[in-house]
Chains A and B, each alone.
Chain A
Amino acid sequence: MSTRASTRSSDRRDEPSWFGELEFRRIDDYRWLIPRQGRMNVDGLLYADERLMADIRGDEAARQVANVACLPGIVGRSIGMPDMHWGYGFAIGGVAAFDPARGGVVSPGGVGYDINCGVRLLRTGIRARDLRPALPRIMNQIQRDVPAGVGSEVRDFRLDDAELEDVMLRGAAWAVDRGYGTADDLESIESGGALAGAAPDEVSARAKSRGRRQLGTVGSGNHFVELGFVDQVFDPGTASRLGLEPDTVTIMIHSGSRGLGHQVCTDFLDVMLEATRRYGIELPDRQLACAPLDSPEAERYLGAMSAAANFAFANRQMMAHRVREAFARVLERPWTDLGMDLVYDVAHNNAKWEEHEIEGSPQRLCVHRKGATRAFPPGHPDLGARFAEVGQPVLIPGDMGRYSYVVAGTEEAYRETFGSTCHGAGRKMSRRKAKRSVRGRDLRREFADRGIEVRAASFATVAEEVPEAYKDVADVVDVVDRAGIGRKVVRLRPLGVLKG
């Protein structure tokens, strides 16, 4: 017999909310304040120009930035990057830092389902025009060697429990020990390719079983392996130091922690819902479910999240090396001769313990970045000698047809955004609409005519990922550059794309 009526989520626009109609205040051409209002604990700060702001005002994302500002122990400001759009609880393109000494919390919704979804960039000494004759064969070989697609799994090795645990503890270093790349690579990965404090025991059996077969695979959706070339240089000094000479071929990999990370997020959303109740935390949106940083739940989540993050670092390390080997095989030269060095590898979904200054004194904070990238300035101790002068490289992918950017971290970002910047182009068209709009078109032919070789596990996915479905990443990067929270280094254009 059917009983009572409805249960509504609390993030609908017509629900009574924690602040009224949101008030915005323009600070300058690229910054908008959401002044503390209603039950916000801090201000919100949005990076956007007039045009992006018009989109943002109409989107849930600004309200989500304000919601995050209501969380306990948040410090500084609740930040939204120019590529922000609504997500689960936290907006995508959001940054928020919490102080354990002030009852700060950690929230899986502030990290995302795809823990340590991130981007890696390799440079080469090969000029684009010299690569073109071999491009179709190289793309074929990459497609053979790097499994892509929905539920993509590896066929050529098996991970037992002990190995998988090692992956989760040591991340990219595990991969290097297995022959995927060199120790030198580790210096060019955020956090050296492994987060400390990983707790594989906190990763559920379900998550492990999903991840075990997926290490070394791209996945699907907006993940890819993309060959490109340096087509525009904005900062020649930095570009040269990073090995990004004009017209040279680059390889960009966008992927995360696959099913293992997704399952960790799913598992802990439930734990956090329970924790929210237990600790009596009131939330404007249940998807902001969280626990105080000094609680066992928080420790467990961060341990599992770090384990999943390390899985993703190992994943990208493996795939990058397979791409090196694919090049070597087709071009019949060692990859070292081809100068295929790692430029950098960044995460854009995670929560990290970092030291930042709050009211003049350094505090240890838990910084959440969801669809936002760490962008530390020149000289930051975490970057090591290699990047002391140029600052941390930030890799910002655009859609599959236009361009991507490399940007560098700045002092201003360190002061204003906890050393963070944007992560990429956001979608503007639904997947269904994108598919309908390309019906009857030969996408592979269209891309080939534009000089881009596409390989895909599914052209239905390619249809969902066409450039028209995305905003222009150039607009996003321009705002970041002009606001001073990222310094443009080079622009890359695609030559070949492998999609899942």
Chain B
Amino acid sequence: MSRTERVPGVRELDHTADVGIEVRAGSREELFHRAGRGLLSLVREVGETDSGAEPDAERRISLEAADAAELLVRWLRELLHLYESESEEYVAAEFEALEDGHLVARVRTCPVQGVAVREVKGVTYHDLDVREAGGEWRARVIFDV
């Protein structure tokens, strides 16, 4: 039996044709991290008895964007690329720099776990939102499936 992983602070959005997530976190770093895990939870299911694998591969990712929302889209596209082309799934990141238009992170991955249930064609700008209000960070992203 398998389940869709519940990532803390991530809610799956109900869209007619596509799928999306709404993410909440206490910091920008945690927002980006949770969004990455959230994307993963849409793409594959893990077994009930699966506690995850050791992230033994590391790489440095460096991205630029016009603003925080675009940066989130680019971040997620990188993680999607790792999943699809290299069969590596995102586990965690250490952010050396994370501002509105700039990201540098050491990303740790492990081989993809679980069963792929959904093909994400792209990370879209539709209804895209990244904001901070009263110390809480929030994001909304829709994916084309």
Size range of the interface on A? 35 or more
Q: Given A206-B85, A220-B119, A266-B123, do A2 and B137 touch, yes or no (CB 8 Å)?
A: yes
Binds B, one of A387-395, A410-418, A428-436: A428-436
B-facing residues in A269-321 (Cβ within 8 Å): 269-270, 273, 286-287
Least CB distance, B67 to chain A, in whole angstroms? 4
Complex alpha-carbon distance, A266 and B137, angstroms? 26
Q: Dominant SS at the B interface?
A: mixed
Cβ–Cβ < 8 Å partners of B99 in chain A: 3
A426 to B16, CA, bound (A): 9
With a cutoff of 8 Å between Cβ atoms, the chain A residues found around residue B74 in the complex are: 270
Residues of B within 8 A of A210 (CB): 84-85
Instruction: Contact check, A4 vs B125: say whether CB atoms are below 8 A apart.
Output: no
Q: List, in ascending order, chain A residues with CB within 8 A of B121's CB.
A: 113-114, 262, 265
CA distance A432 to B12 in the complex (A): 9
By beta carbon, the residue of chain A nearest B2 is A460
Q: How far is the CB of A180 from chain B (nearest CB, A)?
A: 24
| B residues near A269, Cβ cutoff 8 Å | 122, 125
- Do A7 and B131 touch across chains, with their CB atoms under 8 A apart? yes
Find the residue from A7, A426, A430 having the highest chain B CB count within 10 A.
Answer: A7
Instruction: Give the docked Cα–Cα distance between A2 and B15 (Å).
Output: 31
- Residue A219, interface by CB 8 Å: yes
What residues of B have a CB within 8 angstroms of the CB of A9 in the complex?
A: 69, 125-129
Query: Closest residue to A430 on the B side, CB-wise?
Result: B14
Q: What is the CA–CA distance of A244 and B61 in the complex, to the nearest angstrom?
A: 55
Say if the beta carbon of A259 comes within 8 Å of chain B.
yes
Tell me which residues from 72 to 110 in chain A have a Cβ below 8 Å from any Cβ of chain B: 85, 87-88, 92
Q: Please, what's the 1-or-0 string for A442-478, where 1 marks a CB less than 8 Å from any CB in chain B?
A: 0000000000000000101100000000000000000
Task: Give the contacts of B121-141 with A (CB-CB under 8 A).
Answer: 121-133, 135, 137
Q: Is the Cβ of B131 less than 8 Å from the Cβ of A6?
A: yes
Report yes or no: A287 in contact with B125, Cβ–Cβ below 8 A. yes
Say if the beta carbon of A131 comes within 8 Å of chain B: no
* Contact with A11, one of B69, B127, B131 (Cβ below 8 angstroms): B127
A436 to chain B, nearest CB (A): 10
Query: When the two chains form their complex, are residues A458 and B132 in contact, meaning their CB atoms are under 8 A apart?
Result: no
Which range contains the number of B residues in contact with the other chain?
35 or more
Interface: A12 (CB within 8 A)? yes
- The smallest C-beta distance from B92 to any residue of chain A, in angstroms, reads 20
A151 and B69 contacting across the interface, CB-CB below 8 Å: no
A157 CB to closest chain B CB (Å) equals 19
Once A7-B131, A428-B16, A430-B16 are accepted as A-B contacts, the answer to whether A88 and B126 lie under 8 Å apart by CB is yes
Chain A residues whose C-beta falls within 8 Å of the C-beta of B24 in the assembled complex: none
Q: In the assembly, what is the distance between CA of A31 and CA of B74, in Å?
A: 40
Which residues from B are CB-within-8-Å of A460? 117
Q: Which of B100, B118, B127 has a CB less than 8 Å from the CB of A7?
A: B100
Q: Is B17 an interface residue (CB 8 A)?
A: yes
Q: B60 on the interface (CB 8 Å rule)?
A: no
Look across to chain A and name the residue whose beta carbon is closest to the beta carbon of B71. A7
Q: Mask for A344-369, Cβ within 8 A of B = 1, else 0?
A: 00000000000000000000000000
Q: What string of 1s and 0s marks CB contacts (under 8 Å) between B57-98 and chain A?
A: 000000000111110001001000100110000000000000
With both chains docked as a complex, state the minimum distance between the C-beta of A329 and any C-beta of chain B, in angstroms.
Answer: 29
Residues A286 and B116 in contact in the complex (CB < 8 Å), given A7-B67, A266-B77: no
How far is B85's CA from A429's CA once the two chains are assembled, in angstroms?
Answer: 31
Tell me the residues in window 184-211 of chain A with beta carbons closer than 8 Å to chain B beta carbons: 206, 209-210
A-B CB proximity, top 4 nearest: A6-B131, A7-B69, A262-B121, A113-B121
A-B contacts, 17 of them at CB < 8 A, read: A2-B132, A4-B132, A7-B68, A9-B127, A11-B126, A11-B127, A85-B17, A150-B117, A209-B85, A210-B84, A265-B121, A266-B77, A273-B66, A286-B125, A287-B124, A287-B126, A430-B14
Residues of chain A whose beta carbon lies under 8 Å from any beta carbon of chain B: 2-9, 11-12, 85, 87-88, 92, 113-114, 150-151, 206, 209-210, 219-221, 259, 262, 265-266, 269-270, 273, 286-287, 426-433, 458, 460-461, 500
Q: A9-B125, A430-B16, A432-B14 are in contact. List 20 more A-B contacts (CB 8 A).
A: A2-B27, A6-B130, A7-B131, A9-B126, A9-B128, A11-B127, A113-B122, A151-B119, A206-B85, A209-B85, A210-B85, A219-B119, A221-B119, A259-B84, A265-B121, A266-B77, A269-B125, A427-B17, A430-B14, A432-B12
